[in-house]
Amino acid sequence: MADRIPTGRVARGSRIGLLTAEQTVRGVGVRLSMLTAPGRAREYLAERSTLQTAQQIVTVLGGLKGAAMKVGQMLSVLDLDLAPQSHRELFRTKLAELRDRAPAAPFTTMRAVIEDELGPLTQVFADFDETPIAAASIGQVYRARLRDGRWVAVKVQYPGVEDAIDADLRNLRMFSSLWKAAVPSAADDAVLGEIARNLARELDYPAEARTQHSLAARYRGHPFVTVPDTVPEYCTERVLVTEFVDGKSFEHIRTLPDADRDRVGELIYRFYITSLFTDYEFCGDPHPGNVLLAADGRIAFVDFGLYNHMDPVHVEFERSCLRAAGEGRADDLYRAWVERGIIDPESGVDAEECLDYVRATVGWHLVDEPLTVTPEIATAAVVLVVDPSVSRFQGMRRQSLPPEHVFSRRADLFTFATIGQLRASNNWHRIAREWLYRDEPVTDLGREIAAWRARRRE
């Protein structure tokens, strides 16, 4: 790619527009070709189209970085109609490159940023691997060794990425077209605007460094979870240096036996979901690229640029609504939503529709039975929230979720989608009861974590 990512609104918008148009044309062409092709040729056409589509998305969105690449990362955890059902795993695997193997910026470009922030490379690092271990929407991550011998991860912002995000904010209509090409029912500018606006927060590396240092302390000594600590003296406006996690990727975790994937799924749930209701704060960017299996067997969580502290009043509102839905108290749920301004009482939406909608979108917290979360189930929930007009919930399309709840609900959905990639099984309601009703934990992991916390309080 070029030394600098495209930052102008016109340049970025034209690439998104071309990508959207080409996906539309390719889809029509492939469908026409497959009408007359024999069985083996039809299979070949489907596979070739899948790879071409995924490769083009990786190349274009990965090269643009910013909100464009974030949209691609979100698509990588959904079960999409961009590829035939038989080839969606192939498509998803290719698109997953946007999480950890996206097109990389040249090291010469990134070295200039590091040295502008920290001074000459050799004065800080004894070794520095010039090949990035991850390339994300805001920056790239490198493995290096400090002069005191510690191995670290060095996250470096792309030059010009702040201008790229600003351009993306002004290009929401173009993103809507791309999003609609991927998820035909969903072209909601409000959703895309929320993505782009929150992405701008990820530019604040000093805030991320403070958050990560706090979380590392909170999880220090945890039996199952670890958060790498920061190295504060080397954290600046555009460079973030943290402890290095020697771990296996999420793709490796997906190959583990069922019991191991179920265990990881429960830990992901506890880290991203439970924390909101117990600590009134949560990580707003759950996706597979931020989950690693550390060498000591613990699950490592990284990337805290989108970390949120939520007013306890708003958290308690969400908890009370979920309890009402779980207990079948449709009238109480409806009344709470009307009072909060979520439901217009003149809209024709009734209490039972509200109840059914909550059960359809977040029922995994509420149903007291084992559930295997699959990509198909998770994607259906995401699409239903983004655009209820595809279902029986026509009236919900015209209702409005207050801003203070948008991000927590998005985090919930994409935690669901991430666990879906593992096809993890559990009675999620039994875990949820710990924060819904403050019940004692009933899973082995939950009991061991509770015991660890009790020891820390002594």
- For residue 123, give the nearest of 148, 104, 89, 94 by alpha carbon: 148
Say if residues 76 and 95 touch (Cβ distance below 8 Å): yes
Question: Does 167 map to a domain?
Answer: no
* DSSP per position, 174-201: HHHHHHHHHSTT---HHHHHHHHHHHHH
What pLDDT, on the 0 to 100 scale, is given for residue 161? 79
Three-state DSSP state, 125: strand
- What is the count of structural domains for the chain? 3
Residues 126 and 210 in one domain: yes
Residues 332 and 448 in one domain: yes
What pLDDT, on the 0 to 100 scale, is given for residue 49? 45
Residues 313 and 399 in one domain: yes
Question: Does 317 map to a domain?
Answer: yes
Question: Does 265 map to a domain?
Answer: no
Any idea how long the chain is? 458
Residues 6 or more apart in contact with residue 320 via CB below 8 angstroms:
336
Question: Does 279 map to a domain?
Answer: no
Question: Does 285 map to a domain?
Answer: no
Residues 58 and 124 in one domain: no
Question: Does 396 map to a domain?
Answer: yes
Q: DSSP class of residue 230?
A: B
Q: Looking at the annotation, which residues are catalytic?
A: 285
Task: Say which CATH number the domain at 238 has.
Answer: 3.30.200.20
With the C-alpha atoms ordered 106, 107, 109, 113, is the resulting torsion angle positive or negative? positive
Residues 240 and 179 in one domain: no
Residues 320 and 400 in one domain: yes
What is the C-alpha to C-alpha distance for residues 158 and 104, in angstroms, rounded to an integer? 10
Q: DSSP class of residue 106?
A: P
| Residues paired with 247 in a beta bridge | 294
Query: Domain containing 139: what range?
Result: 106-157+204-244
Question: Does 141 map to a domain?
Answer: yes
Residues 75 and 137 in one domain: no
Question: Does 450 map to a domain?
Answer: yes
Residues 213 and 336 in one domain: no
Residues 334 and 428 in one domain: yes
Helix runs in 119-257, H state only: 121-124, 161-169, 172-182, 189-201, 205-218, 250-253
**End-of-domain residue from the set 244, 271, 300:** 244
Residues 359 and 231 in one domain: no
Residues 320 and 210 in one domain: no
* pLDDT per residue rounded down to tens, the chain (458 residues): 445 555 544 444 444 344 344 443 334 333 333 333 344 433 433 444 444 544 454 454 444 444 445 555 555 544 444 445 554 555 555 555 555 555 568 899 999 999 999 999 999 999 999 999 987 777 899 999 999 999 999 999 988 877 766 665 555 445 555 445 444 434 445 555 555 566 667 789 999 999 999 999 999 999 999 999 999 999 999 999 999 999 999 999 999 999 999 999 999 999 999 999 999 999 988 888 899 999 999 999 999 988 989 999 999 999 999 999 999 999 999 999 999 988 888 888 899 988 988 888 888 999 999 999 998 888 777 666 655 555 555 566 556 667 778 778 888 988 998 999 999 999 999 999 999 999 999 999 999 999 999 999 88
**End-of-domain residue from the set 213, 229, 244:** 244
Residues 62 and 188 in one domain: yes
